[in-house]
Amino acid sequence: MEKLIITCAITGAEVTKQQNQAVPYTIDEVAESAYGAYLAGASIIHLHAREDDGTPTHRLERFSELIKAIKSKCPDVIIQVTTGGAIGMTRDERLTPIYLNPEMATLDCGSLNFGVDEVFINTENDIIYMGNIIESKNIYKELECFEKGHVDTVLRLVKRGFLHYPLHFSFVLGVNGGMSGENRDFIFMKDSIPKDATYSVAGIGKYEFSLAEQAIIHGGHVRVGLEDNLYIEKGILAKSNQELVQKIVRISQNYNRLIATPREARKILGLEII
């Protein structure tokens, strides 16, 4: 079985220090948190930008500062920027960080009811528009799918020639309004993608470690981090992103699954040919 790629989603746009003091906001906090995750075994850093007070931002300058600070500590780590943005942002606002030419960027592949009155809108034309720009800049896209219909959308757009290989999916399971994070849901998603595609699993909240274990067993890859889950165990807050990555490494060791370095992750994903 190929080595395990660990992505660490270090801060996100929603979680706060009021929920867990370990959530990084500032440039230095983000860089230190990314470095700790990297030392523990993460080869990809999934990056949102926050202002010093925690306010989510898509300012190009802020992303540039964050990437520079992270790369100064772990120069070979893969930076994966988010194009999710925030509710109400335009397509072009959400695409802002790709103009820094990162190696990877996420592409959200369908709309979602986040709860109450919040709807995360990703129309088919949004996906085509954003996907085409990401591909045109030779940035490796991670296809974020919150439920089975999002996978079907990707496959339809590939068939119609709007999206292209390589296909690397991220199953984000357990989000309000999306698919839950039971093992059956993971299996359904895994079995719905092409055999030659790769995938990673991000379990939200209580699903983080149970889904990570399933991904490890079945040959997939794992996303972990404070963006997705604030706890190391039920009722016990995680002390850092590093601690969350370390737990994934221990689970992987139980199944004799080795951890991929950034260089090995690039080879597994095909980043070297993009």
Q: Which residues contact 16 (CB under 8 A, 6 or more apart)?
A: 23, 54
Of 47, 78, 76, give the one whose Cα is nearest residue 64: 47
Of 225, 233, 178, give the one whose Cα is nearest residue 200: 225
Q: Does the pLDDT at position 273 exceed 80? A: no
Report pLDDT digits (tens) over 183-237: 999 999 999 999 999 999 999 999 999 999 999 999 999 999 999 999 999 999 9
Using CA atoms, how far apart are residues 42 and 224, in angstroms rounded to an integer?
9
- Which residue reads 């999934």 in tokens? 46
Q: Which of 113-127, 131-145, 166-180 has the lowest mean pLDDT?
A: 113-127
* Prediction pTM value: 0.96
Q: How far is CA 120 from CA 117, 126, 129, 162, 194, in A?
A: 10, 12, 16, 22, 26
| Residue ranges per structural domain of the chain | 6-273
Using CA atoms, how far apart are residues 260 and 249, in angstroms rounded to an integer?
11
Kindly state the average pLDDT of the residues 154-167: 97
Using CA atoms, how far apart are residues 244 and 231, in angstroms rounded to an integer?
8
Strand pairing class (6-9; 44-47): parallel
Please provide the distance, in angstroms rounded to a whole number, between the alpha carbons at the two ends of the chain: 24
Report pLDDT digits (tens) over 63-87: 999 999 999 999 999 999 999 987 7
CATH 3.30.70.2190, applies to 6-273: no
